[in-house]
Chain A
Amino acid sequence: MAGSHRKSSRGGALVQETADADLGRDRDAVIGASIFFLAFYLYLWLYVDLRLIYHGGGIIANFPVFFRGWAFFESFTSYPGGLVEYAGAFLAQLFYYSWAGALIVTLLAWSIGLCIGYFFRVARAPGLRGLRFIPAILLLVIYSRYTYRFTSILALLAALSCVCLYLKVTAGRKLSCIIVFGVLSAILYYIAGGGYLLFAAICAIYEILMRRRWPMGILYLLSGAAVPYVEGVLIFGVSIINAYSELLPFSWKIVDRVTHEETFDVVYVLYLLVPLAALGLGLRRRFLTTGAGPAEHRGSRAKRRSKAKHPKLLTRIRLLYTGKPKFRWIVQSLVLLAVAGGAVFASYSGKRKIEFEVVYYGSAKMWGRLLRSARGHPGNHRVTNAVNRALYHTGRLGYDMFSYPQHPEGFLLTAERFKVASWDRFEMRIELGLVSMAENDLAECMGMFGKRPAILKGLAWVNMVKGSIGSARIYLGALGKTLFDAGWANEYLDRLESDPSLSTDKEIQRLRSLCVAKDHSTVFSDNEQAMLALLEKNSTNRMAFEYMMSWYLLTKQLEKFVGNVKKLNDLGYSEVPGLYDEAFFIYAYSTGKSVELEGDWGSPKAGPRIEDFTRIFKNYGRNKDAAFAELAKKYGDSYLFYNLYEFSGVKN
């Protein structure tokens, strides 16, 4: 009895120790996961800045729109997958605030991780529970690349949640399993569309390989093929293509709207992670291990086998790893951080972020931040266009435009290849007075990017400027149903009630005074003609003037440039911009004609720069290639340099 008591108390202590150890492990795991997800959240909020994805920058074509009201919701109820799409559309709007968007994505990653962790716990594969961090890492990759896949991933979460629910409630008989599977199938397919296929596949794998119930597994696979047809095609009448692909990453709706294909692999990995891991686990158990004992026993046998094989050092490390939970926790955490950090490092695109930033700051009229961001970009037409706009608004276009990479094609984005990518243009065109052209851009954007609030706002604005109040009201009406721009829309709707022609709105009146009056196709395609038409309508259009002069500089049409300098007087300039001085010098040098400006403009401020530039060039025997390094270093931001080399923005 005493012996038995001793034994029992020893056993009790052992149980207590194990429980304590488990508790400690759980606590460590919770702490580790919390740190990981906190870092995840902060990275998305502060570094990636998810509001850039909300804005989309004319790059993300698949970002959803969301309107308040029953009618909008109802449109999502008529097809399988609509509810997840609706939920995704709503949650995506929260990206408007970077902190809220980051929170949503963090919760999404955390929830998927929970589901995966639960799955492998039920599957008695605790070793694979580490996979629960993989989705979060893949999400980091997706967002570091500034792509949008939220809805597909939400469908994945719905499918995994149902898998967990299935596992939770189907420990019993086959019939109850089938009933639960059937009910979940019908519901999940309606909610998550093609995401259901993942659920069916995982359940089938689980039944076949884990529970060794082949007939049920086969039944589930067959239902995976049948449910979309019956529910999707026959009941909801959707196309067979959509029935099997709605919300999946390979759906034509998604593929057609995605501009950067590299993230595809990532979403596929995300989708295939659980089924492949389950498949691998099941096959390993089925074919690589003998006996059907509990997994932990098999694990022990494997340990014994490996012990015999491994040399001493490895065995020690292994013992240290398995025997010291703290050490193991530290190693696991470091590995996790290394993998996450590596994935972020490999996928993060700073250049891409800058492209989003310049468009975002341009829309928000944050010129200083735009110019600071653009400094880090090697230059492309989109950035160039945004930079020039910012320079104009800060009064620096005539001084600093060649501090940045410039190319005539990027100046007004009128080349044929920008026919569709017109997001970058419409604000500039509105400001210039090319309102009909801006309307065209906005309509193309609506076709390409959907009824995004920024587009509706733009369309409402151009219609108000044009005096098309009826259509402006409709755009404002639609905008009034969005989450974050409704205030602006309702304010203008109220204003239109009291002042239908907006005659008291100074900005509208100002823009109306700028609107081009010449209706000719050349205005659309020819930058010079567009600016001339604007100045013909309103000779005080300073932006049109500066853009025209810049265009002449870029295209080296100095005769025309000089021919228009007298407008400096009319437009009230107090000094001749530095780049104009340089252009005068080049003109005078190449034609032998001096440029006479009316009035007192003082001596050219660019004089010493011109002299030094000329001296350096002469020092190299007027050899362009030889002089390049020194000139680029000192005058890579000058028109002198651009005129000589036909590129700019190279000053160190």
Chain B
Amino acid sequence: MSKHYRYLLTLVALLCIGALVYALCRGKDEAPSGPFHSVGRAAKIHPDYSGAVIPANIAPLNFSVEEAGAGYYVKIYSKQGPQIELHSRSGNILIPQNSWSKLLKTNRGQEVRFDIFVKRADSGASSQSEEGLWSRFDSVVNRIAREDIDGFLVYRRIDPVHSTWKKMGIYQRDLQGFDESVVLDNGYYGGGCLNCHAFCNNRTDKMLIGIRSPKYGSSALLVDGGAASKIGTKFGYTSWHPSGRVAAYSINHVSQFFHTARDEVRDVVDLDSLLAYYLVETGEVKTTPAIAKKERLETYPAWSPDGRYLYFCSAPKRWTDNAAIPDNYDQIKYDLVRISYDVQSDTWGELETVLSAQDTGLSILLPRISPDGRRLLFCMCDYGCFPVYQSGSDLYMIDLTAAKKNGRYEYRRLGINSDESESWHSFSSNSRWIAFSSKRKNGVFTRSYISYLDQEGRVCKPLLLPQKDPSYYNSCLWTYSVPELVVERVKLRKEGLGRVVRGPAKTPVDFPVTRATPKAGAASPPESSYLTERE
């Protein structure tokens, strides 16, 4: 044996001995034994998951106990199955994924309880006290829903940018664990923007992503089956017809501006907008006068699950100058309207108002209808077209089944709203879960939340998208917007998608409207190197 190998062997042996000594010295963590000092309240935990209804297929709800102590012990249990016992010196409770998953799946519809014990920091001094070393807090209780949530959440991750950014991407998160992977980021086409990802029926075999690239131009990336292609125009907010044959989208002439004395500095206004639709089979882009009125601003299309109606938002356009922010920008309020459509004959019916801004006094935005067709979820805020920048933006719901019966669209504000902006909501394929963006807790950074929606339309306390590190969000500078629930992973590789964006092949779009203001023969203004962007 050479000298070098001897040294190496000695080093390995020393390391093993060191590890053994450490393990022995550390001792075995034991479950606390009574008597306990009963605190009489629940422990403060972060993130606060207490009281939420959780899906059986959610990742472990790791949390940190924010109570002073020298040691922490947590027992997690439900009606059936083995309990999970965890010890921690720091207060960070990291739950093993397999045990957690097993526990939840065997106890659907039951409660899951977290018993939290904290070893008193002054345990040395009080070791003689009758109440003992450990404090016991009231259990944190969650209910496990019977229905699973879709397996993946697709969102856009970006810094809280104003108009300049480096990196942004569409990511998918496996909700059962902590695995996050890139669907596509702007590094695959030399920087630029990507947004407005839209899926058909919560599946990923039909997907659209809007792309803007100073280098490769604007386009819509279409995934249809196992293939990706590029459409020679950018789609704005997009909604797939449930048949997968049509995608309605908005064309928005967005202008960004900034506030000088408001918590949220950023704001945007659509100086002009309209709706168009793409016929997948023929590669045609069309519009119809009812959804592209010159005197109206149309945006946020959303198909009903039966495909018979296109819901969208519409506001009167009271200016002619499309280059300047109108003085009365804070008076722009959108109505919620719908128009019937026959996909077989590609014909449109009459426009009807579902809910008018005049009645609500607020701007109605982002309609989404549950896949079972029973509920319409939307945002309302003081003015404008972009709820993420409005701290007053809240989620509202209309019971469409009731509306069908009594002919009235009655809306109600959901109890899950906060003082900050709520927006970008989506339904799971089984209509039992909603994912949405919220700026609660900080006002700047958008995070993804999940809420259970029961059969009666009650929406339960939202659950912050769990992360492996419970303190992750404390220093996380990303914003997570447009969380879309999908039942499967996006299968196409990111480089494959990037290659399509970079490639010259694209479906040409023979459509007179390239920007929101139709001007026959007029060229689109060039993209600036620092493209205006919004979350």
Residue ranges of A at the interface with B (Cβ–Cβ < 8 Å): 71, 233, 237-242, 252-253, 256, 420, 434, 436-437, 439-440, 443-444, 446-448, 450-451, 463, 466, 468, 470-471, 473-475, 477-478, 480-481, 515-521, 523-524, 530, 533
B444 within 8 A of A: yes
**Which of B443, B476, B530 meets A420, CB within 8 Å?**
B530
Q: In the complex, how many angstroms separate the beta carbon of B479 from the nearest chain A beta carbon?
A: 11
Residues from chain B with a CB closer than 8 A to the CB of A439 are 265
Complex alpha-carbon distance, A520 and B188, angstroms: 39
Asked if A444 and B260 sit within 8 Å, CB to CB, the answer is: no
B408 within 8 A of A: no
Asked if A518 and B495 sit within 8 Å, CB to CB, the answer is: no
Residues from chain A with a CB closer than 8 A to the CB of B191 are 252, 256
Q: In the complex, how many angstroms separate the beta carbon of B470 from the nearest chain A beta carbon?
A: 12
Asked if B258 and A521 sit within 8 Å, CB to CB, the answer is: yes
* 24 pairs, CB–CB < 8 Å, chain A vs chain B: A71-B472, A233-B495, A238-B187, A239-B498, A240-B498, A241-B190, A252-B190, A436-B259, A439-B265, A440-B162, A443-B160, A446-B161, A448-B164, A474-B444, A474-B474, A477-B471, A478-B475, A481-B475, A518-B260, A518-B261, A519-B260, A519-B261, A519-B262, A524-B260
Residues 476-496 of B, flagged 1 when their CB comes within 8 A of A and 0 if not, give 110000000000000001110
Q: In the complex, how many angstroms separate the beta carbon of A473 from the nearest chain B beta carbon?
A: 7
Residues from chain A with a CB closer than 8 A to the CB of B499 are 240
- Contacts A252-B190, A440-B258; is A450 near B166 (CB within 8 Å)? yes
Looking at B159, B325, B475, B530, the one whose CB has the most chain A CB atoms below 10 A away is B475
Asked if B494 and A470 sit within 8 Å, CB to CB, the answer is: no
Asked if A444 and B163 sit within 8 Å, CB to CB, the answer is: yes
Asked if A470 and B442 sit within 8 Å, CB to CB, the answer is: yes
Asked if A436 and B262 sit within 8 Å, CB to CB, the answer is: yes
Residues from chain A with a CB closer than 8 A to the CB of B443 are 468, 470-471
B469 within 8 A of A: yes
Asked if B190 and A447 sit within 8 Å, CB to CB, the answer is: no
Asked if A521 and B325 sit within 8 Å, CB to CB, the answer is: yes
Asked if A238 and B475 sit within 8 Å, CB to CB, the answer is: no
Asked if B159 and A447 sit within 8 Å, CB to CB, the answer is: yes
Asked if A466 and B159 sit within 8 Å, CB to CB, the answer is: no
The secondary-structure label for the interface of chain A is: helix
Complex alpha-carbon distance, A463 and B444, angstroms: 10
Asked if A240 and B495 sit within 8 Å, CB to CB, the answer is: yes
Complex alpha-carbon distance, A49 and B105, angstroms: 61
Asked if B477 and A451 sit within 8 Å, CB to CB, the answer is: yes
Residues from chain A with a CB closer than 8 A to the CB of B189 are 239
B441 within 8 A of A: yes
Complex alpha-carbon distance, A253 and B185, angstroms: 13
Q: In the complex, how many angstroms separate the beta carbon of B187 from the nearest chain A beta carbon?
A: 6
**Which of A238, A420, A440 meets B495, CB within 8 Å?**
A238
B454 within 8 A of A: no
Q: In the complex, how many angstroms separate the beta carbon of A305 from the nearest chain B beta carbon?
A: 49
Residues from chain A with a CB closer than 8 A to the CB of B262 are 436, 519
B171 within 8 A of A: no
Residues from chain B with a CB closer than 8 A to the CB of A466 are 263
Asked if B477 and A468 sit within 8 Å, CB to CB, the answer is: no
Complex alpha-carbon distance, A556 and B381, angstroms: 45
Q: In the complex, how many angstroms separate the beta carbon of B256 from the nearest chain A beta carbon?
A: 10
Name the residue on B nearest A70 (C-beta): B469
Asked if A478 and B477 sit within 8 Å, CB to CB, the answer is: yes
B445 within 8 A of A: yes
**Which of B165, B265, B442, B495 meets A237, CB within 8 Å?**
B495
Residues from chain B with a CB closer than 8 A to the CB of A523 are 260-261
Residues from chain B with a CB closer than 8 A to the CB of A515 are 261
Asked if A237 and B493 sit within 8 Å, CB to CB, the answer is: yes
**Which of B188, B190, B258 meets A436, CB within 8 Å?**
B258
- Contacts A437-B260, A516-B260; is A444 near B164 (CB within 8 Å)? yes
Complex alpha-carbon distance, A517 and B257, angstroms: 17
Residues from chain B with a CB closer than 8 A to the CB of A444 are 162-164
Residues from chain B with a CB closer than 8 A to the CB of A448 are 164, 166
Residues from chain A with a CB closer than 8 A to the CB of B498 are 239-240
Residues from chain A with a CB closer than 8 A to the CB of B469 are 71
Residues from chain A with a CB closer than 8 A to the CB of B476 are 474, 478
A436-B261, A521-B325, A524-B260 known, 6 other contacts, Cβ within 8 Å: A233-B495, A241-B502, A436-B262, A440-B258, A468-B443, A474-B444
Residues from chain B with a CB closer than 8 A to the CB of A516 are 260-261
Complex alpha-carbon distance, A20 and B163, angstroms: 68
Residues from chain A with a CB closer than 8 A to the CB of B161 are 443, 446-447
Complex alpha-carbon distance, A450 and B530, angstroms: 15
Complex alpha-carbon distance, A237 and B187, angstroms: 12
Asked if A447 and B477 sit within 8 Å, CB to CB, the answer is: no
Residues 523-534 of B, flagged 1 when their CB comes within 8 A of A and 0 if not, give 000000010000
Asked if B263 and A468 sit within 8 Å, CB to CB, the answer is: yes
Residues from chain B with a CB closer than 8 A to the CB of A233 are 495
Asked if B475 and A477 sit within 8 Å, CB to CB, the answer is: yes
Complex alpha-carbon distance, A481 and B469, angstroms: 15
Complex alpha-carbon distance, A444 and B533, angstroms: 11
Give the top 4 A-B pairs by smallest Cβ distance, nearest first: A447-B164, A477-B475, A470-B442, A471-B444
Asked if A239 and B162 sit within 8 Å, CB to CB, the answer is: no
Residues from chain B with a CB closer than 8 A to the CB of A434 are 260
Name the residue on A nearest B472 (C-beta): A71
Name the residue on A nearest B165 (C-beta): A447
Asked if B187 and A239 sit within 8 Å, CB to CB, the answer is: yes
Complex alpha-carbon distance, A517 and B262, angstroms: 9
Complex alpha-carbon distance, A463 and B264, angstroms: 11
Asked if A521 and B257 sit within 8 Å, CB to CB, the answer is: yes
Residues from chain B with a CB closer than 8 A to the CB of A451 are 159, 477
Residues from chain A with a CB closer than 8 A to the CB of B475 are 474, 477-478, 480-481
Residues from chain B with a CB closer than 8 A to the CB of A474 are 442, 444-445, 473-477
Residues from chain B with a CB closer than 8 A to the CB of A242 are 187
Q: In the complex, how many angstroms separate the beta carbon of A372 from the nearest chain B beta carbon?
A: 33
Complex alpha-carbon distance, A436 and B444, angstroms: 13
Looking at B163, B261, B263, B494, the one whose CB has the most chain A CB atoms below 10 A away is B261
Q: In the complex, how many angstroms separate the beta carbon of A72 from the nearest chain B beta carbon?
A: 10
Complex alpha-carbon distance, A253 and B186, angstroms: 11
User: Which positions 238-277 of chain B face chain A at CB distance < 8 Å?
Assistant: 257-263, 265-266
Q: In the complex, how many angstroms separate the beta carbon of A443 from the nearest chain B beta carbon?
A: 4
Residues from chain B with a CB closer than 8 A to the CB of A521 are 257-258, 260, 325
Q: In the complex, how many angstroms separate the beta carbon of A518 from the nearest chain B beta carbon?
A: 6
Looking at A240, A439, A517, A523, the one whose CB has the most chain B CB atoms below 10 A away is A439
Residues 121-162 of B, flagged 1 when their CB comes within 8 A of A and 0 if not, give 000000000000000000000000000000000000001111
Complex alpha-carbon distance, A521 and B328, angstroms: 12
User: Which positions 309-357 of chain B face chain A at CB distance < 8 Å?
Assistant: 325
Residues from chain A with a CB closer than 8 A to the CB of B473 are 474
Residues from chain A with a CB closer than 8 A to the CB of B445 are 471, 474
Name the residue on A nearest B501 (C-beta): A239
Q: In the complex, how many angstroms separate the beta carbon of A515 from the nearest chain B beta carbon?
A: 7
**Which of A256, A446, A480, A533 meets B159, CB within 8 Å?**
A446
Complex alpha-carbon distance, A240 and B265, angstroms: 38
Residues from chain A with a CB closer than 8 A to the CB of B258 are 436-437, 440, 521, 524
Residues from chain B with a CB closer than 8 A to the CB of A446 are 159, 161
Complex alpha-carbon distance, A518 and B261, angstroms: 6
Complex alpha-carbon distance, A243 and B458, angstroms: 50
Residues from chain B with a CB closer than 8 A to the CB of A240 are 495, 498-499
Complex alpha-carbon distance, A463 and B188, angstroms: 34
Name the residue on A nearest B160 (C-beta): A443
Residues from chain A with a CB closer than 8 A to the CB of B266 are 440
Name the residue on B nearest A470 (C-beta): B442
Complex alpha-carbon distance, A646 and B261, angstroms: 34
User: Which positions 289-310 of chain B face chain A at CB distance < 8 Å?
Assistant: none
Name the residue on A nearest B493 (C-beta): A237
Residues from chain A with a CB closer than 8 A to the CB of B257 are 521, 524
Q: In the complex, how many angstroms separate the beta carbon of A90 from the nearest chain B beta carbon?
A: 18
Complex alpha-carbon distance, A468 and B262, angstroms: 11
Residues from chain A with a CB closer than 8 A to the CB of B471 are 477
Complex alpha-carbon distance, A439 and B265, angstroms: 8
